[in-house]
Structure 1
Amino acid sequence: MTGVRQQPPTALTIAGSDSGGGAGLQADLRTFFAHGVHGMTAITAVTVQNSVGVQGVTEIPPGVVADQIRSVAGDIGVGAAKTGMLASAEIIRAVAGALDEVGIGAGHPTPLVLDPVAASMHGDPLLAEQALEAIRTELVPRATVVTPNLDEVRLLTGIDVADTDGQRDAARALVKMGARHALIKGGHLKGATDCLDLLYDGAEFTELSGPRYDTEHTHGGGDTLAAAITAELARGATVPDAVAHGKRFIERCVADSYPLGAGIGPVSPLWRLEG
């Protein structure tokens, strides 16, 4: 007879639900699982979506979102947390208040990964300007690391990144807003032969280069990368080590992406379970 197992590392995702299972909290949970981390959720919105698009969104009341955070943090404890789709300024402000209450985010014991989901795969804004301003003022200053793609960088900072110099300018702008680290993802850089992500801690830049795969099946890529970073932080890694791990992890997930339905399939952390 075996003894009682110890509680594994824990991570919390504060994000929307993707009914197609490719992105959102579903992508976060399977990434946590692939890292041996127990995943918890604070659901911000329920989307009606599949591989071809989003047909509807229903927001969760801000107080309910905040109560989910308080509930799991007060009982189970949170090793690291991440945000995804936050839907509205009211939800963002409720999340920020709850994070402070339970000690999550920069200046607190528990790290926070801010994935500022603010643009669609086609670069279209997903948040009103009021919500974008709430991200800038309420969440970026609480972020241990913020992980925008180039469209989100443009919406948050006004910087239209076209090259590595632009990535550096964007990283500086986000750290000036209060983020402890900024990871500027280069997957959307036009004409680039590789995929260069840039990490900045306010003093030094670290370039993380990887292959660029010829696939359209990249749904949930940003969620999965941020979740992998969160999982490693929950396991005790430093931010540079967690980000470097996340970069390697998402490369494999993109390489193992698969078609799903009639549209765009997801990146896949399932490769870690094979063998």
Structure 2
Amino acid sequence: MTATISPEVLVHQLFGAFLLPPLLFILPVLLGLLLRRRAPAIATSLVCLGLLLAYLLSIPRTAMWLNAGLERYPVASMAQLQQQQAIVVLGGGKKPAPEYDRNEPSADTQTRLRYAAFLARHTHLPLLVTGGSPYGGEPEGEVMARTLQQDYGLPVRWVEMQSITTLENARYSALMLKQAGISRIVLVSQGWHLRRALPFFQAQGLHVLPAPTGFVRYDGAGLAWYLPTGRAMQECHSALREWLGIFFYSVQGWLHGRTTQPD
């Protein structure tokens, strides 16, 4: 397959680039430098704003704060899991792995697959993986299915490979599930992702039990939470991107603010 990015994904990437780190704090600094002679006071304020944003969006305390409002669903209990009919795992990206001479799941996808494998072994529910090729090349669903089969020894009953967005994950997965008579599912993804993803699957007429994983947590406390780290910056970026997605789909009427967890 040729590596051709989807036009829809490209638009989202370009739009997000100007509203998310690192451009979110680089642009005020650059603008401040350009204005340093014409408007010194404004220029100083912009540079200070950019530096402040750079600091705040790179510390664990901010990462946990931004994700707290996204991680609304608790860990699913075994009693709840046993009432469902299938496990659906959302794709979260893939990456070239030259040491294996193939594509491998991204860190987010690997976290989801590991938890899905854990749940599948304890419930014996069939697995559905969903993810297309938003950036071209091999579909994420194919990579996910291969990983579950080869690394975890688990068969995958359904592999959805057309979707390029979370909304399409829900649409195409629901078609497969309904053809098999499945209406009650366990939905596996990061805790910060399920707030947006779960309503999409509910809108397809599915009864959804959220199964969050990959919670944003840090060891230690105190000063350690206020020291900048690359991991915290990445988690702040993911959270802000998710809040933007929630805003975008809320304006379109897709997200209706359900907060209760299924029985």
TM-score range, shorter chain: 0.3 to 0.5
TM-score under structure 2 normalisation? 0.33
Report the structure number with the largest CA radius of gyration.
2
Greater relative contact order structure (CA < 8 Å, 6+ sep): 2
Point out the structure with the larger strand share: 1
Point out the structure with the larger helix share: 2
